[in-house]
Amino acid sequence: MIETTEFEGFAAVTLRSPDGLAATFAPAAGMVCVSLRDGEEELLGQRKGLAAYAHDGKTMGVPLLHPWANRLAGDGYAVDGVRVELAPGQPGLRRDPNGLPIHGLLAGSPHWRTLPASAAAPGDAPTAPGASGDAPTDTLSAELDFGAHPELLAGFPFPHTIRLDVTLRGRTLTIATTVAATGERPVPLSYGFHPYLRLPGVPRAQWRVELPALRHLRLDARSIPTGAGEPVAATAYALAERALDDGFTGVEPGALFAVSGGGRRVEVRFERGYPAAQVFAPLAEDVVCFEPMTAPTNALVSHDGLRSVAPGARDTAVFSIGVTEER
């Protein structure tokens, strides 16, 4: 079931599953997922709230980070012979404590438009990867024409559209993201998502984190990958007093990241198109983030793992958040 609603004064859309999950999105505030509730319990960190995200780019819920995820090493980058300098006052530009550009240009963007239910998803964008049978499906679709906004092209001069197809089936929320290159240049893919997950009523010391086998990236003092790294085996550990802000590559399609405790398990599955990840868990907050990324941090500068969509073509990446019983 899909219903039009409101969240903190913003127009919103809620998808409800008969299996107890409800996911709410705010299309006019960056198409951010502001809430994922299991019954009456909230599974997303809402931090400073939706207004702070819409007006100041303070991330919350499950925001899209586009056209780059996490940080760039500086205000300049070059891709396919196109040199870009991010100017002071660039619309949408946010900076981290070191002054580096962070989280792209679309935080809280009002430029998203929802699509009618009759608008079919792109042929390579599965509605619910791995799902089968005749279970009821509800899908919310929205699109942003990046190339229609000169102020955005000033910071990322690669015309394209970006579309989200969001499906709630059973106890799994699936987000398919399709980038279509609409200009004469290939569009580099360096975006990602930042799910702020929480286990309500469970002390952080009792949260158990599970990671697949990955390549752990070495970061400099500014959290920028150095180019070095080493493989790490699949692991599981109590979060306890660990502070995490780690970058990874080598994420295989279908790789599973999870946090569990108090009888509940929240899984983020990198279905396809996300070979990189950031795992973030600050000591000051009871949240853990498994961030699907199409390329590692700073890829627009380093070109490490950077791929592109050819003119006239499109690319779809998919991840899901599932809620199950603790194993």
Q: What is the pLDDT along the chain (327 residues), one digit of tens a residue?
A: 899 999 999 999 999 999 999 999 999 999 999 999 999 999 999 999 999 999 999 999 999 999 999 999 999 999 999 999 999 889 999 999 999 999 999 999 999 999 987 676 776 555 544 443 344 458 999 999 999 999 999 999 999 999 999 999 999 999 999 999 999 999 999 999 999 999 999 999 999 999 999 999 999 999 999 999 999 999 999 999 999 999 999 999 999 999 999 999 999 999 999 999 999 999 999 999 999 999 999 999 999 999 999 999 999 999 999 999 998
Q: What's the predicted TM-score (pTM) here? A: 0.95
Could you state, in order of their start, the residue ranges of all structural domains in the chain?
2-325
pLDDT of 90: 92
- Other C-beta atoms closer than 10 Å to the C-beta of 46 total 18
Q: Can you name the residues that pair with 317 across neighbouring β-strands?
A: 177
pLDDT of 327: 86
On whether the CB atoms of residues 93 and 65 are closer than 8 A, the answer is no
Chain centre to alpha carbon of residue 311: 24
- Other C-beta atoms closer than 10 Å to the C-beta of 312 total 10
Classified by CATH at the fold level, domain 2-325 comes out as: Beta-galactosidase; Chain A, domain 5 (2.70.98)
Distance CA 99, CA 74 (A): 9
